[in-house]
Chains A and B, each alone.
Chain A
Amino acid sequence: MPGTLTDIINFVIQTALALVGLDYARVPEMLRIGAAMLIACAAMLGYVAVVALFFGWAERRVAGRMQARQGPNIVGPFGLLQLIADAVKILVKEDIIPQTAHRFLFRLAPILVFMGAFAPFVVLPFSETLVVSNLSLGVYYALSFAALEVVGVIMAGWASNNKWSLYGGMRLAAQMMSYEIPMGLAVLTVAVLSGHLNLRTIVLDQQGHWIFSWNIFRGFPWAFLGMFAFYLAGLAGSKRTPFDLPEAESEIVAGYHTEYSGMRFVIFYLSEYATMYVVSALTAVLFLGGWHAPIPRVLAWGGEVHWEAGPVLSALIGMANMIGKSFFLMFVMLWFRWTYPRVRVDQIVYLCMKVLVPLGIICLIGASVWALVL
């Protein structure tokens, strides 16, 4: 089996060490794994930052054009460097902690939130080889870490000692509690169809007949409906419009991050985009065939002929497919945000409990029947 990202990194380290005359085999195993993990994490962190920067720009640009205005277009070509300018501005801002805030929890909260948003990146496969950790319970891991975010947000809401922040925290608690369920049900639909919880295997399972072997068509209509349930639940999980109640600026000022500024605010901002990416990438992996191109046989882009194109090229092509799909789904999130009003706090629970959960259960039962019959 071709190696995962960790193996590739190991190979790179080995080569590098060989160049300076060191024998890789003599390095203790713990150190080797540790180094590989560190490098993989750094790569992922860089990727998250780039995605967040790019979508921070895209969000404003898309919003601008949808609202018949320009969006950022001064700094750099098409305003692409706007976010860098903003990052510099925001980093030199004064870091304010309100006097009455709980200082320790106030500082801890953004870290927890970011951890919850960042951890799922470990199991996201970018191509057949490019996955940091090929966990056999990948989906489970991703979902459980995504739930960590709510702890951080409630912490931020409470520690700020601001009533609006508290509202934001409590709203998110209600929201996340409800949306874990349909999300889990939708994932189960896929799990039943493919019989795996390993994200890489789930994608490998979807190769074959163009888009028709992707889960959304393979398990038609169950996985198709399941995708909507998953995506909507994911939208709620990443606090995006129409489910952006925890930070509803017209109601509760800025929700849980009302009191945050400077670097700490950036971390919240970063984790929002990271979560968006995770949800989009998971949707792509679970339902949209992951790294498989929509038209497999053309130019040997397909999964089964990956290795004919050579390991590097096929990894790149797979990555391009995967990122393209994720970015499209993220664009849909932006599109939603600049089109829809926000739902109310009781409606979000209504939507979850009375629409998405029944939908998820129907999908699950349907998929189970299909799995038995077909």
Chain B
Amino acid sequence: MSSQASALVRYGQTVWRAVVSCTLGLGVTLKHLFSRPVTVEYPKALPDVPEGWRGWHAYETDRCTMCRLCEQVCPVQCIRLEVEGKGKERKLVRYEIHYGLCLFCNLCAEVCPTACLWMTADWDLACYRRADCTIRFHETNPDEQRKRLWPGMKDLPARAPKKPRETAPAEKAQNP
């Protein structure tokens, strides 16, 4: 008899616990119903991208010594570099990065001895065709190429080109 009574008490406790815990849960969602959403409404508002973001590369042809370190260190071989001539006559004819392969690992930027290649805070990388994934940095204006990929990009505020970081400790540290 007592076991039945205790079973009844347990049953009552369970029901009571269920009612209480479920009511408390309702309070949490109700509180959120009247608090501000945390969403960033993307096309209208742009996400806050910090400095040092690993997005599109920026590349300065003038400072490049064509040492091919970036090409060698890339784990996926997405950087293609072609050089013509010898000695002082060396001339860069091709510098391409295939963003369909790129891991955005920043190894290429860290290894660059003259810091002429770095990663910028540009983050909108979508494009429609696979061929568009390849950005030809040796051509006049790589930014124009990017804009061609996605017409919507024109509406976004223009981004000032980033200077290479003042302290490039990674590069220095890894250079023998």
Contact = CB atoms under 8 A, between A and B. Distances in A.
Contact of A335 (B15, B26, B34, B39): B26
Interface in A49-65: 62, 64-65
A65 B28 contact: no
B37 A64 contact: yes
Interface residues of A, number: 16
A229 to B, nearest CB: 12
Contacts of B38: 68-69
B44 to A, nearest CB: 9
Contacts of B30: 66, 335
A65 B41 contact: no
A270 to B, nearest CB: 26
B25 interface: yes
Nearest to A68: B38
A70 B41 CA distance: 8
A73 B43 CA distance: 13
Contacts of B39: 68-70
A67 interface: yes
B32 A65 contact: yes
Interface string A222-248: 000000000000000000000000000
A136 interface: no
A70 B29 contact: no
Interface string B32-55: 111101110100000000000000
Interface residues of B, number: 16
Contacts of B33: 62, 65-66
Interface string B13-35: 00100000010011011101111
Interface in A319-348: 335-336, 338-340
Contact of B28 (A69, A70, A336, A339): A339
A338 to B, nearest CB: 6
A70 to B, nearest CB: 5
A68 B35 contact: yes
A18 interface: no
A108 interface: no
Contacts of A64: 37
B18 to A, nearest CB: 9
B37 A68 contact: yes
B22 A340 contact: yes
B15 A69 contact: no
Given A335-B30, A355-B15, A69 B25 contact: no
Contacts of B11: 354
Contacts of B37: 64-65, 68-70
A72 to B, nearest CB: 12
B15 A66 contact: no
A339 B35 contact: no
B32 A67 contact: yes
B29 A335 contact: yes
Interface of A: 62, 64-70, 73, 335-336, 338-340, 354-355
